[in-house]
A and B are shown apart, each in its own frame.
Chain A
């Protein structure tokens, strides 16, 4: 789709056609466990609902080979966010929370799946400002092999990535600038 969020690109994935649980999934290439040494996983992506063509929910998450897992649910039609629990691909949403959302607007969605059983969805605006979050607790599924894009239509997904969670992540602070000072002694004494 000729749309994008990530810098330098011009396209995004488009979820269209049949509603949930139809859509697409893609293998991660290995097994990612929420019970890793760091304490969890974070799935992040940019989501933009472009039309209301049926099915209000933008549903993206992690599942295993049997379709079991968790996801984030963004409803820009009815202004809601929820947590998705997938059982054999069939989704059930939890922890519904009202959040004012707009069509044709990119939102950063963050799904945090921790080893302690907690699942948290956060939504940020285009400037990385946190808009709201919702949480649910479920420990049924720990290992994930696929990322899915299910739900309604039509919405765009871009810059999707999976990374490890850590409780106190390293943070970067841009420090003060110092421009260099240049001393230029005039050594040519014949023409100082």
Chain B
């Protein structure tokens, strides 16, 4: 049941994202937070279905919902908002509701049909408790790496046309003012809070050569454990599935201050910096 709930949830959220972005992003990953995995148990869209109003004259007294799948031990909540700030709500519990079977949720107070500005319908089955929470939907480019939910993340694509696999290779990353969402003031105050991860979320060693927040310019060398050779036809991901040549720069948390472990982890053969 939970797996099916998650699958349907994923589809719903994906449709929402596509609709929101107007298909501006050709490929995206959508990571959906599991129901109840947030700070508090949360509600989320968990069913396909529809609803209509139960109307008496010009007055709405209830909401009639229909779901395409069977509900077991579920509670259905409905809320009607009006353009004068009024909200009418109600709930109905069902022990077993067959698919495509209308169920009525009576409202605690009738509202004028002409004043309805919006409606919400929430189904909770097996997730009772506190119903405050949020669902975070993260969008990012496909293949841009694991993103752990910090405030800002940016995919960095690595291109390499050579035929020699490169191990522990330093790659220069240049950040400029054109890179939106580089929090330069944050970097100024906590420069070593920046971190780099590979596509699997593994932290990478790096060395900041230049950091100039005033001019929004930084040069950082990042050590990539393995850059596979370019295949004649196949792309990065099929060439070596375990190490796609992408990495993500993310920020910024004081807890990340210890991630720069000195130059020992950087694969430049010899680096001397006079501190």
Residues of A near any B CB (own CB < 8 A): 1, 4-13, 26, 28-29, 32, 37-38, 126-128, 147, 157-164, 166-190, 192
B203 lies within 8 A of chain A by Cβ: no
Given the known interface contacts A147-B270, A182-B136, the answer about A170 and B224 at a Cβ–Cβ threshold of 8 Å is yes
Chain A CB within 10 Å, residue with most, of B25, B78, B247, B275: B275
Cross-chain contact A173 with B159 (CB below 8 angstroms): yes
Q: Is the CB of A7 within 8 A of B191?
A: yes
Chain B, residue nearest A186 (CB): B120
Q: Which of A26, A160, A180 has the most CB of B within 10 A?
A: A180
B134 touches A162 (CB 8 A): no
Query: Given A7-B210, A163-B269, A184-B135: A178 and B25 within 8 A (CB)?
Result: yes
Question: Are B89 and A190 in contact, CB atoms less than 8 angstroms apart?
Answer: yes
Give 1 or 0 for each of B134-178: 1 = CB within 8 Å of chain A CB: 111111110010000100111111111110101001111111000
> Which among A12, A166, A188, A192 is the interface contact of B166 at CB below 8 angstroms?
A166
Chain B, interface SS category: strand
A172 touches B271 (CB 8 A): no
**Contact assessment for B87 and A192 in the assembled complex, using a CB-CB cutoff below 8 Å:** yes
**Would A188 and B274 be within 8 Å (CB), given that A166-B162, A168-B162 are in contact?**
no
- Neighbouring A residues of B134 by C-beta, 8 Å: 182-185
Given contacts A174-B179, A183-B137, contact A189 B122 (CB under 8 A): yes
Segment among B38-46, B49-57, B66-74, B93-101 that sits at the interface with chain A: B38-46
- The residue that A168 contacts in the complex, of B157, B161, B179, B267, with Cβ under 8 A, is B161
List the 5 shortest-distance A-B pairs measured between CB atoms, nearest first.
A187-B43, A187-B131, A170-B160, A161-B271, A175-B155
Chain B residues with CB below 8 A from A168, complex form: 160-162
CA distance A32 to B25 in the complex (A): 47
Give chain A nearest CB distance to B10 CB in angstroms: 13
Query: Judging by beta carbons under 8 Å apart, are A181 and B17 in contact?
Result: yes
Is residue B111 contacting chain A, with contact meaning CB distance below 8 A? no
Give Cα distance in the complex from A113 to B227, angstroms. Answer: 23
| B275 x A174 contact (CB < 8 A) | no
Chain A CB count within 10 A is highest, among B87, B132, B209, B267, for B209
Nearest-neighbour CB distance to chain B for A76, whole angstroms, equals 20
Give the CA-CA distance A12 to B275 in the complex, in Å: 7
Across-interface contacts of A161 in B (CB, < 8 A): 268-272
Q: State whether A179 and B152 are in contact (beta carbons under 8 Å apart), knowing that A170-B166, A187-B43 are contacts in the complex.
A: yes
Which of B77, B138, B164 makes the CB contact (< 8 A) with A38?
Answer: B164
Contact in complex: B120, A177 (CB < 8 Å): no
Question: What is the interface of chain B, defined by CB distance below 8 A to chain A?
Answer: 13, 16-17, 20, 25, 28, 42-45, 77-79, 81, 87, 89, 91, 120, 122, 124, 131-141, 144, 149, 152-162, 164, 166, 169-175, 179-181, 191-192, 208-211, 215, 217, 219, 222, 224, 227, 245, 247, 249, 267-275
Query: Cβ of B273 and Cβ of A6 under 8 Å apart?
Result: yes
Contact at B268–A187, with CB atoms within 8 Å?
no
Note all chain A residues with C-beta closer than 8 A to B79: 186, 189, 192
Contact yes or no, B144 A188, CB < 8 A: no
CB atoms of B159 and A177 under 8 A apart = no
Residues of B within 8 A of A179 (CB): 152, 181
A187-B77, A192-B89 are contacts. A158–B274 as well, Cβ < 8 Å?
yes
By a CB distance below 8 angstroms, the chain B residues around A10 are 275
Q: How far is the CA of A174 from the CA of B181 in the complex (A)?
A: 11
Q: Which residues of A contact B271 (CB under 8 A)?
A: 159-161
Cα A1 to Cα B119 with chains together (Å): 70
Closest residue of A by beta carbon distance from B81: A192
B159 and A29 contacting across the interface, CB-CB below 8 Å = no
A28–B274 CA distance with the chains assembled, in angstroms: 16
**Structural contact, B16 and A183, CB atoms closer than 8 A:** yes
Find out whether the CB atom of B172 lies under 8 angstroms from the CB atom of A172: yes
